[in-house]
Amino acid sequence: MKRRRWLVLAAAAGTLAASEPPAEDATVLRAMQDELGRTMKDLRLPDAEAPYYAAYWVVDLDERSVEATLGTLVSDDVSKERFVKVEIRVGSPTSDNSNFVGEPGEGGDFMKDTELLSPRTAPLDDDPIALRRQLWLATDAAYKGAVETLERKRAAKQSEIAARHEVPSFSSQRSAKLLATGEPRARSNDPVELAKRVSAVFRGFPEVQKSSVHVLETSTRRRFVASDGGLVVEPSRVSGIEISCEGQADDGMSLERSAFLPADKNGVLPAERSVAEATRIGRELTALRRAPVVDDYSGPVLFEGKAAAQLAFELLGESLSGTPPPEGNDDLESPLSRKLGKRILPRGFSVIDDPTLTAYEGVPLLGHYAVDDEGIAAERAVLVDDGHLKSFLMSRAPREGVEESNGHGRSGLVGWARGHVGNLVVSAKGGLTKRELHARLGAEMEDEGLDFGIVVTELQTRTSATSGDAMPGAQVAYRMTPDGHETLIRGATLATMSVRDLRDVLAAGQGGAVYSFVMENDAGTDVPASIVAPALLFEDVEIRGPSTPNKRPPVVPRP
């Protein structure tokens, strides 16, 4: 199981704004401001421009990671680290060194640019000289890299003819001032005992070959200062439990099930629910071993529960990002880039993203934060209204039609921030009950002369979205006959889909299911997110059966 490193975390509910920085941050903030002032006053290479904007992050990260299997402890790691990140902009807000990689033959180096915008470790002690030294080193490297990138960017522009209207590199809005007081509530249950208790569930499932329970607790303190007056102190705490199990069918097909549960608003992990989830996925994996293999299928498909939210992320998660692709890389542009104001969903559908939400109908949301990774206060963004695209998830990189950030610039402290999901909520007016949706699915089968339809309740867990170019497999799916009888099937893979398919949704359910997970952004850093979506019924989806050979299962049964 992958060890998560959550460098940007959900802000704790209940923090209050203060007029003065908390006492424990005074020394660190003063060191940051002193070095920032020196940067803006003195930093300049001969025959090069001085920075017009600079920003510093200092992040303290306390983490405890506990892993167990079959009721026994595998690891219990505790770590405490401090990181600094520096962002330097050279040129002007109209055109600066950001959002440019260049063609391979033009000296473009994505890895080098990312490295310059990556966090560096810093001393844990609040020693101003030691901290300023790390900021000075990071600033020097970031500035030299910025000057070099701007030169390459200008050279590239001189050799090409502009094909479209150019937008500025940096929005004109100012960074936030947010000083939060009070520490988030700490956990109240023992992670070791919880991990051992939950993992012991799989002792009762002899057909599970591998299983793991991973409890992660992370406490973060983020400090931000910027040359435009931005000043942020934001403490946060987030905890979660990941449960996974793996096995094989008799024909060798690999099977896996997983679940993720975040802590509640008080930092308490749901022990009883975690045991129930481990039991559920253990039973599902056992049942999947004996389920029939799906055949190729084309027809109506109903996505219910977690699968609906996963599908919404897959098709909309990256498509709604409004940050323009690096110049010269138009193939990375969002498929919705020219759809502003046009209908992309059926009428009655709406999509918002609100990082200020902490829960949906009592279910905790993981994508909660107060200030994004560019120092902009998080905002509720209306992205789709009555099926029409109204805006995008915006960082401080403007695009045509949307000039300012709406507080969705997320980088995980690695690379340039881009517009990414926080808490994405899809809703539909006039949603149907589960019974009505199944009846509608039955009517579609009858209309197309099919003996059955497909119901998908969970997709393969993905940490990044492809806008439908490479769809995840269906981990839990059923073949449903017109009389409502459901048969579990395995091996189903969704054919390529696109955002365009969402226009043809036949019906949606009531309310929404919550899918919380740790999303991998462009630079490979994990950031927490939550998706909420109702059940979605599609008229025609292609599902393919397995086409690759399987490895032989173990010769001797599990002890």
354-369 tens-digit pLDDT? 999 999 999 999 999 9
Percent of the chain with pLDDT over 70: 90
Name the band, by pLDDT with cuts 50, 70 and 90, for residue 10.
very low
Q: What is the pLDDT of residue 2?
A: 41
**Greater pLDDT, 422 or 556:** 422
Average pLDDT rounded to a whole number, residues 268-278: 96
What pLDDT score does 13 carry? Answer: 39
Judged against a pLDDT cut of 50, whether residue 35 lies above it is answered with yes
* Vertex 283: Cα angle to 278 and 289 (nearest 5): 130
Which pLDDT value is given to residue 165? 66
Of 68-77, 175-184, 225-234, 444-453, the range with the lowest mean pLDDT is 175-184
Distances (CA, A) of 479 to 23, 295, 505, 537: 61, 11, 20, 14
Task: Please report which confidence band the pLDDT of residue 547 belongs to, taking 50, 70 and 90 as the band edges.
Answer: confident
Give the least confident one: 88-97, 363-372, 465-474, 491-500. 465-474
The strand pairing partners of 542, in sequence order, are 298
Treating both helix axes as pointing N-terminal to C-terminal, what angle do 26-42 and 128-158 enclose, rounded to 10 degrees?
A: 40
Place 7 in a pLDDT band, splitting at 50, 70 and 90: very low
331 Cβ contact list (under 8 Å, min separation 6) = 325
- Banded model confidence at residue 485, pLDDT cuts 50, 70, 90: very high
User: Region 298-307: what's the mean pLDDT?
Assistant: 97
d(Cα 157, Cα 474) in Å, to the nearest integer? Answer: 45
Q: In this structure, which topology does domain 16-290 adopt according to CATH?
A: PmbA/TldD fold (3.30.2290)
pLDDT above 60 for 38? yes
- Where b means 16+ CB within 10 Å and e means fewer, 48-59 reads eeebbbbbbbbb
Q: Is the pLDDT of residue 116 over 80?
A: no
pLDDT at 4 over 80: no
Mean pLDDT, rounded, for 289-297:
96
Segment 229-269, tens digit of pLDDT: 999 999 988 889 999 999 999 999 999 999 999 998 888 89
**Which of 146-160, 319-333, 421-435 is predicted with the least confidence, judged by mean pLDDT?**
319-333
Q: Which residue has the higher pLDDT, 511 or 24?
A: 511
Can you spell out the DSSP letters for 197-258? Answer: HHHGGGGG-TT--EEEEEEEEEEEEEEEEETTS-EEEEEEEEEEEEEEEEEE-TT--EEEEE
Looking at residue 256, its pLDDT comes to: 95
The two three-digit tokens of residue 352, written as one number: 């918002």
Q: Which residue has the tokens 């923090």?
A: 15
Q: Is the pTM of this model over 0.85?
A: yes
Reported confidence tier of residue 162, pLDDT bands at 50, 70, 90: low
What backbone phi and psi angles, to 5 degrees, belong to 280? -60, -50
Q: Is the pLDDT of residue 6 over 70?
A: no
Position 30 scores a pLDDT of 96
Say yes or no to pLDDT of 390 above 80.
Answer: yes
The arithmetic mean of pLDDT across residues 541-554, rounded, is 86
Calculate mean pLDDT across residues 199-206: 97
Is the per-residue pLDDT at 14 higher than 60? no
Residue 20's pLDDT is 77
pLDDT at site 402: 93
Please name the helix (run of DSSP H) or strand (run of DSSP E) that holds residue 549, with its range, or none: none
Contacts of 20 (CB under 8 A, 6+ apart): 179
pLDDT digits (tens, 9 = 90+) for 207-233: 999 999 999 999 999 999 999 999 999
Cβ-Cβ contacts under 8 Å for 426 (sequence gap 6 or more): 312, 316, 349, 350, 351, 512, 531, 532, 533, 534
- Closest C-alpha to 322, from 274, 390, 235, 258: 390
Q: What percent of the chain has pLDDT over 90?
A: 74
Q: What does the alpha-carbon distance between residue 175 and residue 171 come to, in Å, rounded to a whole number?
A: 10
Q: Above 60 in pLDDT, residue 105?
A: no
Residue 292: the pLDDT is 97
Q: What is the 3-state secondary structure (H, E, C) of 254-319?
A: EEEEEEEEECCCCCCCCHHHHHHHHHHHHHHHHHHHHCCECCCEEEEEEECCHHHHHHHHHHHCCC
Q: What pLDDT does 525 receive?
A: 67
Instruction: Answer whether residue 110 shows pLDDT above 70.
Output: no
Question: What residue segments make up the domains of the chain, in order of their start?
Answer: 16-290, 297-544
| 106 pLDDT above the threshold of 60 | no
Tokens read off for 50: 């001085």
Which of 164-173, 313-322, 326-335, 497-506 has the least mean pLDDT? 326-335
pLDDT for 559 beyond 90: no
pLDDT in tens, 126-152: 999 999 999 999 999 999 999 999 998
Residue 232, beta-bridge partner list: 178, 224
Of 396, 381, 36, the closest CA to residue 231 belongs to: 36
